[in-house]
Amino acid sequence: MSVRLDVPVLAGELVRLEPLAMRHVPDLAQAAEEDRSSYDFTLVPRASEVPDYVAAQLARGGLTPFAQVRVADGTTVGCTGLWDPRGWPDRPGLRAIEIGFTWLAASAQGGGINAEAKLLLLSYAFDVLGVARVDLKTDARNHRCRRALERLGIPFEGVLRAWSMSWAPGEEGRVRDSAMFAVVATEWPAVRSVLEARLAAVSSRASAR
């Protein structure tokens, strides 16, 4: 399906997911140039490429893109999106969707923003859209991302060989093996509990400082 979903702002305590717009470009250009060492397998534009990147995200069929806005200071620190919505074959509504096109500035990593963004998107997918499944995938070589998903309680399903286009530098036009993760509706309550516990731990550490 090439439809773009009409999703409102999804607001948490650490991050606010706003529909991506050109007004987010200046902050994203700065975010993309912090420490790029974690982007070896992720599509993250250089600062000069951010306007074209945002325009491409807005034009991409089947993608509902968001800016990740840090609540503490109102700064846009990355992007994420709901991608590849799949409908039921015999009735209206969505059967499945993917969370993808996710990246965060180095200064926004490790502080709970990623966990809360996943909680907001999964909650919307299961509780509002009523999907049966939410996918997440990454380059099979991206062990950092894989460990992060596992810590969030997202079940690992396996590796699909030559499944997606590679975003690694120097691999333009090549395909990669993709590590596949997913949450199905029956698992959602348990995954939500893991995410909420992780965010509670982040809040507790912040209060202790």
- Residue 179 · residue 142 · CB < 8 Å: yes
Domains and CATH numbers, the chain: 10-208 (3.40.630.30)
Q: What is the pTM of this model?
A: 0.95
Q: What are the pLDDT tens digits along the chain (209 aa)? A: 567 799 999 999 999 999 999 999 999 999 999 999 999 999 999 999 999 999 999 999 999 999 999 999 999 999 999 999 999 999 999 999 999 999 999 999 989 999 999 999 999 999 999 999 999 999 999 999 999 999 999 999 999 999 999 998 889 999 999 999 999 999 999 999 999 999 999 887 777 66
